[in-house]
Amino acid sequence: MTTPQISVVIPTYNRAAIIARTLDSVLAQTYQNWECLIVDDFSTDNTRKLIEKYEQKDNRFHYVLNERKKGAQGARNTGIYHATSEWIVFFDSDDIMHNDLLDTMVNAIMTDDKKSDVYTCFSNVINRNSGEIVGKFEWICGGNIQEQLLTGKIYVDFNGAIIKRSKLMEIGGLDDDCPSMQEWETHIRLSKVATYTTVPKILVDYYVGGCDTISADKKREIKGYLYLLEKHQQEWMGHYDSYLMYGERVLNILRNYTDKTFEQEYKKTIFHLMPELKLIILKKAVKNKYNIFKRNIVKTIHKLHHG
């Protein structure tokens, strides 16, 4: 049986100083039948020259320049359209593949009787500054996972997934307008048409702690949550408790945000999406005040009795 070619799609912007580690990890793969598309989203550093060196070293590397600046999702879409393989791995330009990543995932594709559309694996989460492992991504995905995605039981990280290109095309590609939570948004849509299988092995090193990551930008995080909660409101109607939970999570993030005008604006958006949440928050506040009052009464009585 012929083994499939894998298209590795790496979006990048001004990562010339660190992307070489990622490309070296692709080059070190024990599985040889791959192409690697590095999609440059109009970098202003020497990214192009660096990638050209890799193209000269190995003709499986391909530099692709976006026709305009599109962001990470737009760059991934460019990669999808240029890919020549049925199987795609989206990989970040600051993460590392273990050298058996592609080998292991292809073996899963070839031996899986269920013939899934998406295969996932586990990842180490590594602090970029200290180099220490600070966590692991170990979500188990099986079959239809949409309910688990909506209720927060699992997540699918792009770096640890290999996806059928035809399924990505079926959902119209990735959403360029999604400000953050992009993997979550993609897989909510993808899980409508695709089945999933997990290979329970750590095959990726995922780095956190960079100042240019979306997680460092609370405003984009808030906008990402609200974008998903509005776009996929219908899907969440069958899991309304989870929908309200995410709304409350956004409110908690907003409370710690310094821009009070922004806070008020997005509070209105949340309460417009889920008006019941205002009543829930009010009831919790009243309950908390009552509990504090009750504790103070008990303390006062205790002092009166014990002097």
Is residue 17 within 8 Å of 47, Cβ to Cβ? no
Q: How confident is the model at residue 60 (pLDDT cuts 50, 70, 90)?
A: very high
Q: What angle do CA 55, 57, 63 make, to 5 degrees?
A: 10
CA distances from 98 to 104, 123, 135, 203, 260 (A): 10, 10, 17, 5, 44
For 143-182, the pLDDT digits (tens) are 999 999 999 999 999 999 999 999 999 999 999 999 999 9
Decide if 202 contacts 137 (C-beta within 8 A): no
Task: Give the domain ranges of the chain.
Answer: 6-213, 217-274
Please give the Cα distance from 106 to 4 (Å, whole number): 7
How many whole angstroms separate alpha carbon 125 and alpha carbon 123? Answer: 6
What is the pLDDT at residue 285?
43
For residue 180 the two structure tokens come to 């953050």
Q: Which residues have CB under 8 Å from 69's CB, separation 6+? A: 41, 42
Tens digit of pLDDT for each residue in 171-210?
999 999 999 999 999 999 999 999 999 999 999 999 998 6
Enter the pTM of the model.
0.87
Residue 281 pLDDT grade (very low, low, confident, very high; cuts 50, 70, 90): low
Is it true that domain 6-213 has CATH number 3.90.550.10? yes
